[in-house]
């Protein structure tokens, strides 16, 4: 499961999810990608489930890049605890994703396999996504 090795601060504010992705909006490594259409927090478990779905479908065929990393700690108070007494303990990690961000990239597989693998991965994620292919540069 993805998680930071070391962080400067154990707890963070929740922040805001408005606006578009600031970077990572183009396919840089592979030929195909999965782009986010809405803002969401994606947990490290969801990222791992999507990665497993992709790698199982392509069966050692191509290469997969994960372009998001869960670097935000989410805290949770224990069950049946009264309000107050401070912020809860860190529970899990999330990646903050905004619309336009490329989540996964792939290469080394044909179009149909890539579309199906990324479709399976999208079902593991809590947001709407779209399949994208790298724009082919043509000479002239």
Over the chain, what is the mean pLDDT?
93
Round to whole Å and give the CA distance between 38 and 21.
Answer: 10
The model's confidence at residue 60, banded by pLDDT at 50, 70 and 90, is confident
Q: What is the pLDDT of residue 137?
A: 56
Q: How many C-beta neighbours within 10 Å does residue 53 have?
A: 19
Using a cut of 0.95, tell me whether the model's pTM lies above it.
no
Instruction: Output phi, psi for 84, to 5 deg.
Output: 95, -165
């Amino acid at each position: 499961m993805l998680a930071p090795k070391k962080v400067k601060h154990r707890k963070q504010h929740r922040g805001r999810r408005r606006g578009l992705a600031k970077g990572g909006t183009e396919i840089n490594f592979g030929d195909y990608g999965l782009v986010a259409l809405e803002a969401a927090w994606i947990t490290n478990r969801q990222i791992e489930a999507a990665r497993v779905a992709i790698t199982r479908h392509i069966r050692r065929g191509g290469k997969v890049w994960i372009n998001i990393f869960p670097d935000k700690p989410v805290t949770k108070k224990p069950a049946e605890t009264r309000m107050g007494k401070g912020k809860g303990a860190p529970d899990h990690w999330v990646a903050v994703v905004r619309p336009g961000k490329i989540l996964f990239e792939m290469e080394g597989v044909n179009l149909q396999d890539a579309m199906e693998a990324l479709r399976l991965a999208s079902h593991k994620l809590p947001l709407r996504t779209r399949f994208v292919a790298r724009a082919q540069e043509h000479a002239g």
